[in-house]
Amino acid sequence: MLAIFDKNVAKTPEALQGQPGGSVCALKDGFLPNHFSSVYPGAVTINLGSSGFIACSLEKQNPLLPRLFAVVDDMFCIFQGHIENVPFLKQQYGLTKTATEVTIVIEAYRTLRDRGPYSADQVVRDFHGKFAFMLFDCSTKNVFLAGDADGSVPLFWGTDAEGHLVVADDVETVKKGCGKSFAPFPKGCFFTSSGGLRSYEHPLNELKPVPRVDSSGEVCGVTFKVDSEAKKEGVPRVGSVQNWSQQI
């Protein structure tokens, strides 16, 4: 899976930006989308206009951690992995027996966006299993990314030469677009356009960037660790539905 989001839609943490060496303009002349399509000829590709680009392929995947793709009411979601407590989540979100993991993620996000009774960290924490997903809501221009607490499903993110966010499960694809400005997506975390990167395991703590050193000994992006001493203020649920959707 691959997603490229314009920097005005999803701004990556400053610590992940500006690593010198190798980054390109991922969207210029379709550079990274064309590369992805050459590696995965049967991929589903969707141009999001000024917001960016997403693509999903069912080729070359781990059968134990399958990829799923769905579009519901202008919400695009790519899910990879397996959720163990699907029956509980179907009941919680009022879904039918035929609902799959990807539709559960979409409905969980919709509930969160529309001022449901759950906090963002609780929504992701309720997913038990091995997973990673990326979601884009066209109506609010909101990006929602998450990975499980163990990093069981490969997911990488970074910034290209223009500061756009690049996300993929293939490290070589991310490296091609971001050079050294990339890293594995942090374990036990989620990212949204307006709320930035947060830990759903430790939602009251700040995350601190730690320089990441690659196999050759060079600094390559950053990892993010929970800062046990720095607390963050909670986001109150006030204002209109639109305002709340922008605080997810």
> Residues 102-123: pLDDT tens digits?
999 999 999 999 987 788 899 9
Q: What is the pLDDT of residue 159?
A: 92
pTM for this model (two decimals): 0.88
Q: Pick the more confident residue, 93 or 16.
A: 93
pLDDT band at 79 (very low <50, low <70, confident <90, very high): very high
Is pLDDT at 221 greater than 90 in this prediction? no
Mean of pLDDT values over 130-147: 96
Mean pLDDT of the chain: 88
Beta bridge partners of 130: 82
pLDDT of 245 over the 60 cut: no
Q: pLDDT digits over 169-210, tens only?
A: 999 999 999 988 889 999 999 999 989 999 999 999 999 988
Q: Once rounded to an integer, what is the mean pLDDT over residues 126-131?
A: 96
Provide the percentage of residues in the chain whose pLDDT is more than 90. Answer: 65
Q: Would you state the pLDDT for residue 229?
A: 78
Q: CA-CA distances (angstroms) from residue 153 to 12, 130, 149, 188?
A: 21, 6, 10, 12
Reply yes or no on whether the pLDDT at 243 is more than 80.
no
- Residue 214 pLDDT exceeds 80: no
Contact 120, 126 (CB under 8 A): no
Task: Report how far residue 104's alpha carbon sits from residue 100's, in angstroms, rounded to the nearest whole number.
Answer: 6
Question: pLDDT category, 223, cuts 50, 70, 90?
Answer: confident
Q: Is the pLDDT of residue 240 over 50?
A: no
| pLDDT tens, position by position, 33-76 | 999 999 999 999 999 999 999 999 988 888 889 999 999 999 99
pLDDT band at 4 (very low <50, low <70, confident <90, very high): very high
